[in-house]
Structure 1
Amino acid sequence: MWLVFAFLTLLAAIFIIIPLLKSRIRQEIPTLRPDDKIAENILAFKDQQAELDFQLAGGVIDDTEYSELLLEQKRILLLDAVNESKYPKKEYADRGAWIILLSLLLTPIFVFSLYHYLGASADLNITDLLKKRASIPMNDIDRKALSKKIQKKMSSRLLSEPDHPFYLVTLAQLQMEDGNFRDAQSSYFEALNARPNDSELMSEYAQATYFLEDKKFSEKVNLILDDALSLNPSNPIALGLQGIRYFESNSYKLAIKSWKNALLVIPANTAEADALKSGISYAQKLLKEDIFTLSIKISVSPEYKITKGQVMYVYAKEWGGEPKPLAAIKLLVGDFPATVILDDTMSMMGGKILSSVDFLEIFARVSVSGSATPSHGDYQGSTGKIKVQGSRTVKIQIDKKI
């Protein structure tokens, strides 16, 4: 950013300096000063007077004509002297040009100084430190030292802008990483004053309070957690905490459901996702329960010619619910009849899981164009309404052409 600003400043300077240099060159062309011009006029007047004296002596003009012509030359000399005194002196214009040039050179220095004193230099410094923390590998000691440095600068910045939500939340998250749950709770509380209806922020506040109170679901923690879930039922942090709450009360099925729903909105292959999967697996072992799975046997009506290699979509929707699929899989058509498996791990991002609803409808569609959107010429079949509990194997016949 600084290089861009410097380049633009230099470009602007060029457009101003070039005309000044041209003006300077013009001013350096030799010219007569006003005093020299007056002296030259006086010499010319004396020459004219000598010529008139010569004409008078030779009888070319008489005394009356001589007096009139001499008076006319004096009048011209006086008029020229008055006009020359009105001309501005060149050195003053020259000084004005250099004042403009000096101001141009000093302006960036003044702007940079003012920006450093009043502007966002502290914000830029914090941003650079956060980027360094996120992008440069470092050991635990260096990382902790950098975290402390960032926290110190953020705390200083918050003295001048105490309601800055980004700094409050980031500071709280860094304090959580350091195990400083008391200060983290305080930072989250201040951030919530600025954004009271932020579900994610509220869930992080509940988490900080949970750790501060020795990992116990006190009345305060429960209230904050319930408020976060009421604002956003798909909040992954709140769902994770809710699963822990259910697990500690031996409600393992509800814990599994909460963690599975959280798993839908958490990026795969992360530490958080691995922790949720471990919790689900452990709760299932306590229940002696496997992952909910549906085995779908698909056949095709003899009248339809479906070739190998065409794209087929198999998906499940909640009966009477939203049109968005709960789970789906895309595959290439092979030999029929075929068996396809759908389970809770295939649930769509941000949606419910298969085992969380009462009734389903399963569809199988062969797409002629390969598109996930149904189009003219596709072949389709469905199960109709089926009850989830107890239905582990279903059949579909593709018997309809769209």
Structure 2
Amino acid sequence: MIEFWLSAGLLLLAALAFLLIPVLRGRKAQAEEDRTALNVTLYQERLQELEGEHRAGILSDAQLQAGRDEAARELLADTEGAGRKARNGVLGSKVPLTAALLMPLLGYGLYLHWGAIDRVEQARSFAEQPQSIEEMTARLEATVKDNPESAEGWYFLGRTYMAQERAGEAAQAFERAVAIAGRQPELLGQWAQALYFAGNKQWSERLQQLTDEALQADPAEVTSLGLLGIAAFEGGRFAEAIEHWQRLVAALPEQDPSRQAIEGGIARARERLAAEGGAQPAEPAAEQGRQLLVRVELAAALRDEVQPGDSVFVFARAVSGPPMPLAVKRLTVAELPAEVSLSDSDAMMPQLKLSGFERVQLVARISRKGDATAGEWVGRSQPLASSSAEPQRLTIDSADAQGQ
């Protein structure tokens, strides 16, 4: 608020200047008038001196007239500028001074009546970065209190409550957002999720209705798909959980960081399903077809430096992501040149797959010790799309000084 009042003060000073400057000019004009009166008095005294000297016989008639003319010229020269300023006129000082005193009070009163100091304070508050989630919650609570018809305010308040594990209050906030904005799929999904956790993860007919309605309007509504997968997993329905989570992964962008956690959940569900002897759901067609074809060759200059039994690791790693490989194949130098394919089935970790990253780099490394992270010679490709269908060519041609 300091910035607001400083700005208001500067504007007030500018307004006062328009009123007070004429008053100051009036004082200067008064000084000019006083000076003119003094010059007239001196002129009259000079005439009396000249007439006295004429009567005493000191000055002749001609000298008397010349002295009078000289005194008149001096008076005119001194009063010419002042006379022009006096003719222009000035404002009286009482009216401007009174207006200057009343202006701040009048402006303050008008702002209290028509102004929006509360909105200014709210805008300033939201412009500052909150120091804690509790501070953010307090701001959002103040927002919905001042503007209870703000669907966005209720939505973000519900999200904040969920982050604080206050699911019951979050459910009320999402319900209010739905009442204002309508039954939008995203709001229904968030509302159902809050009700699920507020009810100790007990599935109900109401939750089923909310998620069915959300998915009917938007089959790729991510919160509903994730919630259905969680409920199925908690209920021991692992095949159903895998199905919902696979749909969720397909709906998320390639670079979405939550894909890894969801794929990890799918892998755990598959493990539990396998332990129970259940049939595994099929992989989505998009994931089955995601593979990179690579032809790996050895540079002619290195043929005398390697041994047939040296290990060759061919892998893809994310350009922007974790350093560990996403897909790996192991060969020997004796098998080079060789053509290999890298796909999700070659993943080292279930939550880190080739299909989970948009751009990757191909690496082929020769390691005499059988270490995939460090070796003697290496070849690297330029970054490329993980969905690329064109065969790639990778030549091992340089010393491996960096590792990884």
With structure 2 as the length reference, what TM-score do the two structures score?
Answer: 0.51
* 2:276 pairs with one of 268, 286, 290: 286
User: Which whole-Å CA distance do the structure 2 matches of 1:107 and 1:312 have between them?
Assistant: 76
User: Which whole-Å CA distance do the structure 2 matches of 1:52 and 1:314 have between them?
Assistant: 120
Shift of the 254–45 alpha-carbon distance from structure 1 to 2, 3 Å rule, reads same
* 2:258 pairs with one of 267, 288, 312: 267
The answer as to 2:119 corresponding to 1:119 is yes
* 1:329 pairs with one of 318, 326, 330: 326
| 1:158-199, Cα deviation, whole Å (9 max, x unpaired) | 23xx1341x111222355543426524422314643x94xx5
The answer as to 2:158 corresponding to 1:172 is yes
User: Which whole-Å CA distance do the structure 2 matches of 1:364 and 1:152 have between them?
Assistant: 51
User: Which whole-Å CA distance do the structure 1 matches of 2:330 and 2:198 have between them?
Assistant: 55
| Residue 34 of structure 1: how far off its partner (Å) | 2.4
User: Which whole-Å CA distance do the structure 1 matches of 2:126 and 2:238 have between them?
Assistant: 44
The answer as to 2:143 corresponding to 1:157 is no
| Residue 372 of structure 1: how far off its partner (Å) | 1.8
User: Which whole-Å CA distance do the structure 2 matches of 1:156 and 1:67 have between them?
Assistant: 92
Shift of the 398–71 alpha-carbon distance from structure 1 to 2, 3 Å rule, reads closer
| 1:13-61, Cα deviation, whole Å (9 max, x unpaired) | 99999xxxxxxx99999x9552354134223222123314423653855
Shift of the 49–335 alpha-carbon distance from structure 1 to 2, 3 Å rule, reads farther
Does the CA-based 8 Å contact 1:364-1:381 persist in structure 2? no
State the secondary structure of the residue aligned to 1:346.
Answer: coil
| Residue 215 of structure 1: how far off its partner (Å) | 2.0
Query: Is the deviation greater in 253-262 or in 292-301?
Result: 292-301
Shift of the 280–312 alpha-carbon distance from structure 1 to 2, 3 Å rule, reads closer
Q: How big is the alpha-carbon RMSD for the aligned residues of Structure 1 and Structure 2?
A: 6.7
Q: Which residue of 2 aligns with 1:345?
A: 351
State the secondary structure of the residue aligned to 1:226.
Answer: helix
State the secondary structure of the residue aligned to 2:229.
Answer: helix
Does the CA-based 8 Å contact 1:311-1:330 persist in structure 2? no
State the secondary structure of the residue aligned to 1:345.
Answer: coil
| Residue 205 of structure 1: how far off its partner (Å) | 3.0
With structure 1 as the length reference, what TM-score do the two structures score?
Answer: 0.51
User: Which whole-Å CA distance do the structure 2 matches of 1:253 and 1:7 have between them?
Assistant: 65
| Residue 345 of structure 1: how far off its partner (Å) | 3.0
* Aligned residue type for 1:346: L
| Residue 222 of structure 1: how far off its partner (Å) | 3.9
Q: Which residue of 1 aligns with 2:373?
A: none
Q: Which residue of 1 aligns with 2:369?
A: none
Does the CA-based 8 Å contact 1:172-1:185 persist in structure 2? yes
The answer as to 2:252 corresponding to 1:255 is no
Q: Which residue of 1 aligns with 2:38?
A: 39
| 1:307-332, Cα deviation, whole Å (9 max, x unpaired) | 899995449xxxxxxxxxxxx73779
Shift of the 312–34 alpha-carbon distance from structure 1 to 2, 3 Å rule, reads farther
User: Which whole-Å CA distance do the structure 2 matches of 1:368 and 1:302 have between them?
Assistant: 9
* Superposed counterparts of 1:385-400, under 5 Å: none
Does the CA-based 8 Å contact 1:240-1:262 persist in structure 2? yes
User: Which whole-Å CA distance do the structure 1 matches of 2:277 and 2:180 have between them?
Assistant: 40
State the secondary structure of the residue aligned to 1:42.
Answer: helix
Does the CA-based 8 Å contact 1:41-1:77 persist in structure 2? yes
State the secondary structure of the residue aligned to 1:131.
Answer: coil
User: Which whole-Å CA distance do the structure 1 matches of 2:278 and 2:76 have between them?
Assistant: 122
The answer as to 2:383 corresponding to 1:372 is yes
User: Which whole-Å CA distance do the structure 2 matches of 1:240 and 1:254 have between them?
Assistant: 12
User: Which whole-Å CA distance do the structure 2 matches of 1:13 and 1:330 have between them?
Assistant: 70
User: Which whole-Å CA distance do the structure 1 matches of 2:265 and 2:236 have between them?
Assistant: 19
User: Which whole-Å CA distance do the structure 2 matches of 1:351 and 1:331 have between them?
Assistant: 15
* Superposed counterparts of 1:49-128, under 5 Å: 49-55=48-54, 58=57, 61-62=60-61, 80=79, 83=83, 85-86=86-87, 117-122=117-122, 125=125
Q: Which residue of 2 aligns with 1:239?
A: 225
| Matched pairs, number | 330
Instruction: Give the share of equivalent positions with the same residue, in percent.
Output: 13
The answer as to 2:207 corresponding to 1:216 is no
Query: Which structure carries more relative contact order (alpha carbon 8 Å, separation 6+)?
Result: 2
